[in-house]
Amino acid sequence: MTRIFALRGALLAAFACCIALLPVAAAGAGQQPGIQGHYLTVDGKPVFLTGANYIPSTGWLPILENWDPQAIDRDMAALHKLGVVSVRFPPLWPLLEPEYGKVSSQELDRINELVTIAHRNGISVTVGPLTGWMSGATFIPPWADGNIFTDKKIVKGEQMLEAAVARRLKNNPGLLGYDFGNEISAMAGMMHLRPTPDQTEQWMAAIYQAFHDADASHPVTNGLGGFGGSFDITAVGQHSDYMSVHYYPYFTSTLHQDPWIGQRTTYGVDYLVAYAAMTGKPVLVQEIGCSENWVPVSEIGQFMRLTLMSAWAQGAAGYFWWGSHNIDQNYHPPAKLMDLRYSMDSFKAGRFADLEYSMGLLHTNNQPKPYALEYARWNAVIAHLGLGWKSDLPVAYLVFPEHVEGGATRTTEMTAFTLAKQAHMDVRMLAEGKPVPEDAAAVVIPGFSLSEKGKAAVKAYLGRGGTVLQSVANDFSDAIGVQGEGTETPSPVLTGGQAAGLFSIAEHVRVHADVKLLNAVPAEGAKVEVLLGIPEQTAGANRRHEDEQLRGVLFRTSVGKGTYYYLAANLEEALSRTYNPWSEDDANLIYSVLRAHGDLDIDSKYVELAVKSRGSQRLYLLLNHSNRPQDVVLRSAHDLRLANSITHAALGAGREISIHLMPGEVLAAEPEAAR
């Protein structure tokens, strides 16, 4: 067994020179940024933006009022040392526009100077002027007390603000672009506003146009707290040059599904990247973070490393940690600027919520935390690996329903996304009704019936020889009949056995959840294979006799030229309601039927596999999405000799290479001949 403690110990020495290779010059260069494929560009070259949300080390966001350029310079220099190439800065709305239509020239000059200071330190800046929500508090200028989405006078004032900021900053070489503001969707919720989707889209169009009328050269995004409700993702994409996603397991259902270093908690960021990528725009992980109130400091570095490298592998345009600096425990947020009616209760006592104080990469004296040093290491790895890689894994498209019924749909989809990742596929999202892309190896429809438009799109894919897995609803096969509502079955054991990839479904597949099994049977005379089922006489037994009949659960049949798998169980929904079921669950093996035979695979569902190529180069990433050590066997159809991509240490040779990964560990490997 080769023991690999990837990029530990010797990594600092191996990468002392790599910090110098980070594209800081490009990030701060004087040419205009742009968009190319999945990435933003600077100097015409795609860049992966490793960044942070800038929270000044002294004076918090009202530093614009209590101006201290020397402190900002110290902050930016400290961030530069971590490999940060870009920051997002959210100035508070009441400071910029205290009176209707009167944007403070002093504050504009200071923001411009902040961007200049950052640029001098090799850092570009995205500015979000309409920041009326931040860290649990609402900051609304007195003149904007109303519906900020539908009141025509207020919207006009917002447009004047965005345009004034764009006119002032557009010639600054350190400017990357603009954000509408900070999590305006969260502000809508806190203020109990109820704009319709049409009203919200009209508002987004007005704000986006205000930016571009004043500055057509810099990209605009809309960093929302989440999609859904009146903030339809398609509309957001239409009024943004690139997409931004925010992910915190603490504030989502994923922390109720798995531990901090777990399957759905760490795959959650990939799911959001894939979801936002349905718009066809680049996707920036604009906020991701972890308070020291939530989890031990030792696990924050693991969480950061995993989510950073997994997002990079998923094709994200960048990754911004929240935030750059801690907040001083003695600092009192500015009550004069906030509206306590729409703020968290802690602000009535003059304090942020406790979790807010310890979310920085840096202490207030600019000293890096252990996980900040981890960020620097992996920023250097990303700079070393570069861009231009394409995925060589089979692509599974997960269909997202046209009509979403609350959070239950998202948690079910998140579980389906995880199962496909556990089967070692390149998982992407597909909006229902959209044509299935040509690169699809499989399509998954987890637990719902398609609309007529959705059926037509998937049927066309099956007609040209595609592969589909659908659970619960059976939209494509007259060969399988489904009767009744089904029965609740605690933790069933399914029996059968079918080859999948370089591995196989075991004789028995455990499902560690209370699953509803539907009564599905092949139609008389139909050509249907029962791949997995419950023995009729000995349901739940560990073995079955050859002559024993199966009550089918997983079926395979043909539709057109394609293959249709039907799962007569609410697998994804049941697992989404079960906390950390994975050690007693083999459901990933059901998804593995979608993975055609390939030349390489690994034998652990806990470890993400990314296989990428760039010209003649080949890259293998193994990421341990668990809080336990994992022993992994990498199996190849051909002889392989692997080396660590960073340290160049040999990892093993042959058709089976054993690798040991520590909790949350990431390993980048390549064929030795490629070096």
Residue 243: the pLDDT is 98
Name the nearest CA neighbour of 262 among 299, 293, 219, 222: 299
Q: Look at residue 606 and tell me whether its pLDDT is greater than 80.
A: yes
If you classify domain 600-674 with CATH, what class do you get? mainly beta
Domains in the chain: boundaries: 27-387, 395-594, 600-674
Residue 11: the pLDDT is 42
Classify domain 27-387 at the CATH topology level. TIM Barrel (3.20.20)
Question: What is the three-class DSSP state of 28?
Answer: coil
Residue 548: the pLDDT is 58
Strand intervals (E) in 440-549: 440-445, 467-471, 480-490, 493-496, 499-500, 503-504, 508-510, 514-522, 529-535
Band of the pLDDT at 246, cuts 50, 70, 90?
very high
Residue 144: the pLDDT is 95
Residue 5: the pLDDT is 31
Distances (CA, A) of 262 to 141, 418, 626: 42, 11, 5
Band of the pLDDT at 522, cuts 50, 70, 90?
very high
Average pLDDT, the chain: 91
Q: What is the per-residue pLDDT across 180-214, written as a single tens digit (0 to 9) for each?
A: 999 999 988 899 999 999 999 999 999 999 999 99
Q: Look at residue 432 and tell me whether its pLDDT is greater than 50.
A: yes
Q: Look at residue 140 and tell me whether its pLDDT is greater than 60.
A: yes
Q: What is the per-residue pLDDT across 256-282, written as a single tens digit (0 to 9) for each?
A: 999 999 999 999 999 999 999 999 999
Residue 497: the pLDDT is 58
CA distance 394 to 417: 14
Q: What is the per-residue pLDDT across 350-402, written as a single tens digit (0 to 9) for each?
A: 999 999 999 999 999 999 999 999 999 999 999 999 999 999 999 999 999 98
Q: Look at residue 124 and tell me whether its pLDDT is greater than 90.
A: yes
Kindly give, in sequence order, each residue whose CB lies less than 8 Å from that of residue 547, ignoring residues fewer than 6 positions away. none
Q: What is the per-residue pLDDT across 396-423, written as a single tens digit (0 to 9) for each?
A: 999 999 877 666 678 999 999 999 999 9
Q: Look at residue 304 and tell me whether its pLDDT is greater than 60.
A: yes
Residue 519: the pLDDT is 93
Whether the pTM exceeds 0.85: the reply is yes
3-state DSSP helix/strand/coil % of the chain, to nearest 5: 35, 30, 40
Percentage with pLDDT > 70 across the chain: 91
Q: What is the per-residue pLDDT across 546-602, written as a single tens digit (0 to 9) for each?
A: 555 778 999 999 999 999 999 999 999 999 999 999 999 999 999 999 987 678 999
Which phi and psi (to 5°) does residue 472 adopt? 70, -75
4 and 11 Cβ atoms separated by less than 8 Å: no
Each residue of 170-181: b (16+ CB within 10 Å) or e? bebebbbbbbbb
CA 613-616-618 angle, to 5 degrees, is: 35
Percentage with pLDDT > 90 across the chain: 82
Q: Which residue in the block uniquely carries the two structure tokens 């200028």?
A: 141
Find the DSSP H helices in 89-242. Answer: 93-96, 105-120, 152-169, 184-190, 197-214, 233-238
Band of the pLDDT at 160, cuts 50, 70, 90?
very high
Q: Look at residue 17 and tell me whether its pLDDT is greater than 60.
A: no
CATH superfamily membership of 395-594: Class I glutamine amidotransferase (GATase) domain (3.40.50.880)
Report which DSSP code applies to 513. S
Among the listed ranges 260-269, 491-500, 524-533, 576-585, which one has the minimum average pLDDT value? 491-500
Question: What is the three-class DSSP state of 514?
Answer: strand
